[in-house]
Amino acid sequence: MNHKSNTQSESNLINGSLLAKTLRSQTADKIQTIIRDSGVIPCLATILVGNDPASATYVRMKRKCCEQVGIKSISREFPENTTTEQLLTAVKELAQDITVHGILIQHPVPAPIDKRAAFEAIPLLKDIDGVSSAAFGRNVLGMPAHPSCTPAGIMRLLREYNIELDGVDAVVIGRSPILGRPMASMLINHHATVTLCHSRTRDLSSIVRRADVLIVAVGKPRFLKATWIKPGAVVIDCGYNEGNIGDVDFEPAKEIASLITPVPGGVGPMTIATLLDNTANAAAQQLDIKISH
């Protein structure tokens, strides 16, 4: 595989922070064009439900990044005991507010809430994390819709590092609707042969061993053992576990992989940069402003 890239250093680490910086700067330019041509400041609304400190930190981080590229951010915060109906009311209000261009419901939401119903209440044009079934289905079919941020950020990383996808064996571990599933369909749409694994998969290590490109999205620290990796494979670690630990046993894995994402500094920054870019694209679309994508 050809891995030559402008952003690649001497090491085999994929530098997500650097690429995210470039993407944020392109997004900031888009935002300036939108403001100049429409007089409107693009706006992202974040919704946070419950007391999960990690989620609160993610929302704060996303709002700060919005400010840095010129996106206005507003936040709606709800207590742990919020009902589905209350959440739906908030989402519907934001859906109808023409000053809001993107809506993000921070995951996870407390278990009793019907998360799917809340996602479905986000209109397609404002669904900047591709969480509704409409956005998901359109992305699977290669039709226009904002893509789910984490897998779309990973696709940018793979493209920037000139990773060949056509015909290669790709293995995705994890089948969540926000990560593993859309990741698998994006890889399929780029002509990889994809195996999607999950907790019921049998003999995972021998499936992993076949992968030229391996995406690990399990949520368990150091889950993926280096001995499972095919020498020379490209390894993308989505995991973000307590203590900044990924889902891949990083130190031994980096000796075997041809390229690997570190945690932190790999997938994470690209997720946020993609969220900002999706918001800019959503605003341009809603305000009928032409920008280059």
Task: Kindly list the residues in this chain that would bind ligand NAP in the complex (CB under 6 A).
Answer: 150, 173-176, 178-180, 197-201, 204, 217-219, 238-241, 247, 267-268, 271
Angle at 238 between CA 179 and CA 191, to 5 degrees: 60
Q: How far is the CB of 89 from ligand NAP (least distance, A)?
A: 26
Q: How far is the CB of 157 from ligand NAP (least distance, A)?
A: 12
Which is the catalytic residue, given 72, 115, 126, 129? Answer: 129
Which is the catalytic residue, given 30, 62, 115, 254? Answer: 62
- 91 in helix, strand or coil? helix
The Cα–Cα gap between 54 and 118 comes to: 21
Residue 115 designated active-site: no
Q: How far is the CB of 47 from ligand NAP (least distance, A)?
A: 16
- The runs of H, that is alpha helices, within 7-129 are 16-38, 53-69, 84-96, 115-120
For ligand NAP, the closer of residues 208 and 283 by Cβ is 208
For ligand NAP, the closer of residues 51 and 89 by Cβ is 51
Residue 106 designated active-site: yes
Q: How far is the CB of 34 from ligand NAP (least distance, A)?
A: 25
H/E stretch holding 169: strand 169-173
Residue 273 C-beta-side C-alpha neighbours within 13 Å:
25
Report DSSP state, residue 248: B
Neighbour-count burial of 290, counting CB atoms closer than 10 A to its CB (0-12 exposed, 13-18 middle, 19+ buried): exposed
Q: How far is the CB of 287 from ligand NAP (least distance, A)?
A: 28
For ligand NAP, the closer of residues 4 and 200 by Cβ is 200
The Cα–Cα gap between 289 and 287 comes to: 6
Which is it for the CA torsion 244, 19, 208, 182, positive or negative?
positive
Residue 220 designated active-site: no
For ligand NAP, the closer of residues 34 and 131 by Cβ is 131
For ligand NAP, the closer of residues 152 and 291 by Cβ is 152
For ligand NAP, the closer of residues 40 and 188 by Cβ is 188
Q: How far is the CB of 264 from ligand NAP (least distance, A)?
A: 8
Neighbour-count burial of 6, counting CB atoms closer than 10 A to its CB (0-12 exposed, 13-18 middle, 19+ buried): exposed
Which is the catalytic residue, given 30, 72, 106, 212? Answer: 106
Name, in order, each residue with C-beta under 8 angstroms of 129's C-beta and a sequence gap of 6 or more.
Answer: 104, 146, 148, 149, 178, 275, 278
Q: Which residues carry out catalysis?
A: 62, 106, 129
